[in-house]
Homo-oligomer: A and B are copies of this chain.
Amino acid sequence: MARPREFNKDDALYKTMLIFWRKGYDGTSIPDLLEAAGISRSSLYETFTDKQTLFIEAMKIYRNFVGSNSIQIILDYLADPVRKNEPAMDIIRKYFNGRIDMALDRRYPGGCFITNTATSLETADEKVRSAVVGYIRKTEDTFRDILNRCRDNGEITRDSDINALTAYLIAIANGINVLSRTGKDRSSLDNIVKTALKNISI
């Protein structure tokens, strides 16, 4: 029996992450995945069980990948007591800046893995749906924490509705992700963030 071709699991996952990002969960076929990852059908099933599991693994790769230049910026700030007096709004600005960098970076498929997947998510598979929704909920929790910090620091009004502002900033992030795919340039996207943050700052 022929020994299955060796392949690098992380490399295969990175490549499947890019193809899911480009085509969404439902739009990505098994042949698409095999071609992107350069692996055989049997290797795919042996290593990743099924398409659902592979997608969830790819989403984790995306999280680490995006994390390094966006959400992690917020988490690092919140976890570091020394930075408590640093303006939290500056950190939110950096988050958006990182998102725009990535959404426009021509080495990637454009926009955001999660936004692109969410808009085309048709599958009834509960594991996939809850992974996508769970990702967004985690981002919301992080935004709620940093907005609370903004309030504690007096950067937004004391009576600010933190839940409403969280939903508002998540909508802005998703809107930017969509618009980055319609030919909007850097300065237009930067202006959206500027307007959105100016509007809520004291």
Which A residues contact B (CB, under 8 angstroms)?
A: 22-24, 26-27, 111, 115-116, 118-122, 132-133, 136, 161, 163-165, 167-168, 170-179, 181-184, 188, 191-192, 194-196, 199-200
Q: Which residue of B lies closest to A135 (CB)?
A: B182
* Contact indicator B196/A120 (Cβ below 8 Å): no
* Contact indicator B136/A182 (Cβ below 8 Å): yes
* Contact indicator B182/A132 (Cβ below 8 Å): yes
Instruction: Give A51 Cβ to nearest chain B Cβ, in Å.
Output: 15
Given A23-B27, A24-B27, A168-B196: 4 more A-B contacts, CB < 8 Å: A22-B122, A119-B177, A161-B195, A174-B174
Assembly CA distance A183 to B135 (angstroms): 13
Contact partner of A167 (CB less than 8 A), chosen from B170, B183, B191, is: B191
With a cutoff of 8 Å between Cβ atoms, the chain B residues found around residue A178 in the complex are 115, 118-119, 171, 174-175, 177-178
Report the copy number of this chain in the oligomer.
Answer: 2
With a cutoff of 8 Å between Cβ atoms, the chain B residues found around residue A167 in the complex are 179, 184, 188, 191-192, 195
Instruction: Give A24 Cβ to nearest chain B Cβ, in Å.
Output: 6
With a cutoff of 8 Å between Cβ atoms, the chain B residues found around residue A163 in the complex are 191
* Contact indicator B182/A168 (Cβ below 8 Å): no
Contact partner of A194 (CB less than 8 A), chosen from B23, B164, B174, is: B164
Q: Which residue of B lies closest to A191 (CB)?
A: B164
Q: Which residue of B lies closest to A199 (CB)?
A: B199
